[in-house]
Structure 1
Amino acid sequence: ILNIVLFLTLLKIFILYLNLVINLVIIFCILVDSQKKNNH
């Protein structure tokens, strides 16, 4: 049972981390896109 709880906890942390990374990538892409529009 302990291993399952540990696994679920790690999975939850991993999902949160992945979500954060995806959000940062999206923000970065939006910034880059707006920079390109401003230059042209």
Structure 2
Amino acid sequence: MNRISALVTEFRYFIILVLNRIELLKNEFSILFLFHEIFD
């Protein structure tokens, strides 16, 4: 039982990390896109 809750907690942290990484990538892409729009 304890092991399952530990697994769930780790999985939750993993999902949060992945979502944060996706947000960072989206921000980088939008910044790059803005630069392309400005300098075209």
**What is the TM-score of this pair, normalised by structure 1?**
0.91
> How far does residue 12 in structure 1 lie from its aligned partner after superposition?
0.6
Are 2:23 and 1:22 equivalent residues in the alignment? yes
Q: Give the unaligned 5+ runs of structure 2.
A: none
> How far does residue 2 in structure 1 lie from its aligned partner after superposition?
1.3
Identical-pair percentage: 23
Equivalent residue pairs, number: 39
* Partner in structure 2 of residue 38 of structure 1: 39
Q: Give the unaligned 5+ runs of structure 1.
A: none
In structure 2, C-alpha distance between the alignment counterparts of 1:8 and 1:29, rounded to whole Å: 32
